[in-house]
Chains A and B, each alone.
Chain A
Amino acid sequence: MKTMEEIKAAIEAAAPGAGVEIVPNPSPSGQHSLRIAPSHAVAVATFLRDDAELALDFLSNVTGVDWLDKEVTEKVKVTSTVTKTVDDVEQDVEETVEETRKRVQPGCLEVVYHLFSSALKHGPVILRMKTMNRTDQVELPSLTPIWRSAEFQEREVFDLYGVVFKGHPDLRRLLMWDEFKDHPMRRDYVDPDDYEYEPTPHDAVLTRANAHKAAEEAKAREGTGAGL
Chain B
Amino acid sequence: MAVDEGLKIELGKQGVFVTTIEELYNWGRRNSVWPMQFGLACCAIEMIATTMARYDLARFGAEVFRPSPRQADLMIISGTVTKKMAPQVVRLYNQMAEPRYVIAMGACAISGGPFKQGYNVLKGIDRYIPVDVHIPGCPPRPEALIQAFMTLQKKIDEQPLTGAGRPRHLDAEAQGEFPVPEQGAHDLEPTSNKGVWTVPVVIR
Q: Which residue on A lies nearest to B83, using beta carbons?
A: A177
Q: Does B202 contact A (CB under 8 A)?
A: yes
- Please determine whether B123 and A192 come into contact, CB atoms closer than 8 angstroms: no
Complex contact B199–A192 (CB within 8 A): no
**Contact of B123 with A197 in the complex, beta carbons under 8 Å:** yes
Q: Are A192 and B120 in contact (CB under 8 A)?
A: no
CA A100 – CA B191 in complex, angstroms?
50
Contact in complex: B119, A184 (CB < 8 Å): yes
Tell me how many residues of B have a C-beta within 8 Å of chain A: 16
Q: Does B117 contact A (CB under 8 A)?
A: yes
Among the 9-residue stretches B30-38, B63-71, B164-172, B181-189, the one with 4 or more Cβ atoms under 8 Å from chain A is B181-189
Contact A189 B119 (CB under 8 A): yes
Q: Does A101 contact B (CB under 8 A)?
A: no
Can you name the residue of chain B whose Cβ is closest to the Cβ of A203? B117
Contacting residues, chain B, for A192 (C-beta < 8 A):
119, 186-187, 191
Nearest CB in chain B: distance from A83 CB, A: 62
Interface string of B69-106 (1 = CB under 8 A from A): 00000000000000110000000000000000000000
| Interfacial chain A residues near B199, Cβ < 8 Å | 196-197
Report the bound CA distance from A199 to B83 in whole Å: 21
In the complex the two chains form, is A199's CB within 8 Å of B84's CB? no
The answer to the question of A205 belonging to the interface, with a C-beta cut-off of 8 Å to chain B, is yes
B187 near A194: Cβ-Cβ < 8 Å: yes
Bound Cα distance from A191 to B187, whole angstroms: 9
A194 pairs with B191, CB closer than 8 A: yes
Chain A, Cβ-Cβ closest to B184: A179
Report yes or no: B123 in contact with A176, Cβ–Cβ below 8 A: no
Please name the residue on chain A nearest to B87 by beta carbon.
Answer: A177
Report how far A189 CA is from B119 CA in the complex, Å: 10
Q: Which of A178, A182, A205 contacts B186 (CB 8 A)?
A: A182
- Chain B residues, CB < 8 A from A70: none
Closest-CB distance, A123 to chain B (whole angstroms)? 31
**Are the CB atoms of B191 and A177 closer together than 8 Å?**
no
- Chain A residue numbers with a CB within 8 Å of B6 are none
**B 150-204 contacts with A by CB, 8 A:** 183-187, 191, 199-200, 202
Q: How far is the CB of B202 from chain A (nearest CB, A)?
A: 5
Asked if B183 and A175 sit within 8 Å, CB to CB, the answer is no
A184 with B120: CB separation less than 8 A:
yes
Considering the chains assembled together, what is the distance between the CA atoms of A180 and B187 in angstroms?
8
Chain B residues near A197 (CB, 8 Å)? Answer: 123, 199-200, 202
Question: Closest chain A residue to B186 by CB distance?
Answer: A192
A187-206 with Cβ < 8 A to chain B: 189, 191-192, 194, 196-197, 199, 204-205
Inter-chain contacts of B184 with A (CB < 8 A): 179
- 6 A-B pairs with least C-beta separation: A192-B187, A191-B119, A181-B185, A177-B183, A192-B186, A184-B119
A/B interface sample: 8 pairs, CB < 8 A: A177-B183, A180-B183, A181-B185, A191-B119, A192-B119, A192-B191, A194-B187, A199-B200
